[in-house]
Structure 1
């Protein structure tokens, strides 16, 4: 079941951290960069993020989450995470699909991920996103940017 997460609630922010930290740790290993900002979030930083969060729950337990911000007619996906114990169950796909189906008024979706995070890159490409660029951040860390345009 997908439902909103009240990220301004400390309890819910802590629940998100319980999936965010292990999820982003996997990405850190994949891209060989342990400075991903999401690894250093706290309940307080999540609570102040200004992002809208939705979670995927199984038997009352949070297994995955997506967060985003709206800007004009664009949805900027900030986080899409699944606890490693729930990888390969289609949870990320369900969260992304839910977001798209419940925000049909927005014409554009954008998202970024580590360029060397091959599973995430393939996921976004299979989901209809096209790569718009790669930005070298520091050393060997590169971020791949994607967008998906929709016609109304």
Structure 2
């Protein structure tokens, strides 16, 4: 697991985008809604997001999981957690979230309200549910905070 430089993000952008689409397709199925913005992004969107990235690579040097985040003063916003379906339930999501949490005293994250596995992960790590909101009609998102 390592933080990617901007050059590495550009070099791995096609692989990150493929992983993003696969990971968010799983979430779309879980929540019954495919209007999740990262599911429909192009490579240029991913590259212009302004996110920093930490990635974990498998034995074949493919990205098994990645997390995109932004830091503003003492708060890290965990924007995207993406785990390859082939690597689900192996502790990779937990490891990536813990790595991001170590970067600032406060971590915030949002996930689909009906994404039970993601909510369970965050709650198991001590995140506290803050609120639910509806960015578009019928698409509910839950906000979490860890301090």
RMSD: 1.3
Residue by residue over 1:79-128, the C-alpha shift from the partner in whole angstroms, topping out at 9 and shown as x without a partner, is 01101111111110111112223x1xx22100000000011111100011
1:117 is matched with 115
Residue pairs, 1:27-106, within 5 angstroms: 27-59=27-59, 60-101=61-102, 103=103, 106=104
Distance in 1 (CA, whole Å) between partners of 2:32 and 2:107 is: 27
| CA drift at 1:40 | 1.2
Instruction: Report how many aligned residue pairs link the two structures.
Output: 145
Residues 55, 67 of structure 2: 8 Å contact kept: yes
CA-CA distance at 1:7 after TM superposition: 5.0
Q: Deviations over 1:24-68 (max 9, x none)?
A: 001001111111110111111111111000101111221000111
**Is residue 76–residue 101 contact of structure 2 (8 Å, CA) maintained in 1?**
no
- The gaps in structure 1 that reach 5 residues or longer are none
Q: Kindly state the Cα deviation for residue 5 of structure 1 after the two structures are TM-superposed.
A: 2.5
User: Hey, what does 1:5 align to over in structure 2?
Assistant: 4
The runs of 5 or more residues in structure 2 that have no matched partner are none
TM-score by length of structure 2 reads: 0.92
